[in-house]
């Protein structure tokens, strides 16, 4: 796939978050919910177009991790969210308002949105996003990957 270890780790975290039912594949409804959760209310046409690209990679109604990685490598960095939406999303996750996300806040947000995670998954998220190794995720670390 030609991915760096860091990209592979980031894509694995993202894939596991999207794969809500832990089937090892992402369905269109899981993608739609994830986009809605981050405030990207895509139209049915946009969602269908996006999923059509994904389906063409895997030739099925669901996509696996390899197809997801191919899609992310090709398209993932081309569609950034608006900075205002990113800041708003971060602030919603930062329950105590200290400008940093702690493990507890990450877990709470994911679980509140129907994405149960264990300690190992939280550590993978932290290690892939905590840029300075201080044990917290700040805005720059989270969105300036």
Using one digit for the tens of pLDDT, what is the confidence trace for 57-66? 555 678 888 8
Where would I find the H helices in the chain? 5-18, 28-37, 44-58, 65-71, 83-93, 103-112, 119-129, 139-143
CA nearest 55: which of 28, 32, 15, 78?
A: 28
Distance (Å, whole) CA 46 – CA 28: 12
Q: Which residues of the chain have pLDDT under 50?
A: 78, 144-145
- For residue 34, what are the domain limits? 5-76
The verdict on 59 and 107 lying in the same domain is: no
The verdict on 72 and 127 lying in the same domain is: no
The verdict on 67 and 9 lying in the same domain is: yes
Lookup: tokens for 121: 């998954």
Pair 89, 97: CB distance under 8 Å = no
- So what's the pLDDT on residue 13? 78
What's the number of domains the chain is made of? 2
The verdict on 105 and 61 lying in the same domain is: no
Helix (H) or strand (E) holding 137: strand 137-138
- So what's the pLDDT on residue 70? 79
- So what's the pLDDT on residue 16? 80
- So what's the pLDDT on residue 140? 67
CA distance between the termini of the chain = 19
The verdict on 58 and 89 lying in the same domain is: no
The model carries a pTM of 0.51
- So what's the pLDDT on residue 103? 92
The verdict on 111 and 58 lying in the same domain is: no
The verdict on 69 and 89 lying in the same domain is: no
Q: At residue 87, what are phi and psi to the nearest 5 degrees?
A: -60, -45
Q: Which of 49, 76, 103 is the last residue of a domain?
A: 76
């Amino acid at each position: 796939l030609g991915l760096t270890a860091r990209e592979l780790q980031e894509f694995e975290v993202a894939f596991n978050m999207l794969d809500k039912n832990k089937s090892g594949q992402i369905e269109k409804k899981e993608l739609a919910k994830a986009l809605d959760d981050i405030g990207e209310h895509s139209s049915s046409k946009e969602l269908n177009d996006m999923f059509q690209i994904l389906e063409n990679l895997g030739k099925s109604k669901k996509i696996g991790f390899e197809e997801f990685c191919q899609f992310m490598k090709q398209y993932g960095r081309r569609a950034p969210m608006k900075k205002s939406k990113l800041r708003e999303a971060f602030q919603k996750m930062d329950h105590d308002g200290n400008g940093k996300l702690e493990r507890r806040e990450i877990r709470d947000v994911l679980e509140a949105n129907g994405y149960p995670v264990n300690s190992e998954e939280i550590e993978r998220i932290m290690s892939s996003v905590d840029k300075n190794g201080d044990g917290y995720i700040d805005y720059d670390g989270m969105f300036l990957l």
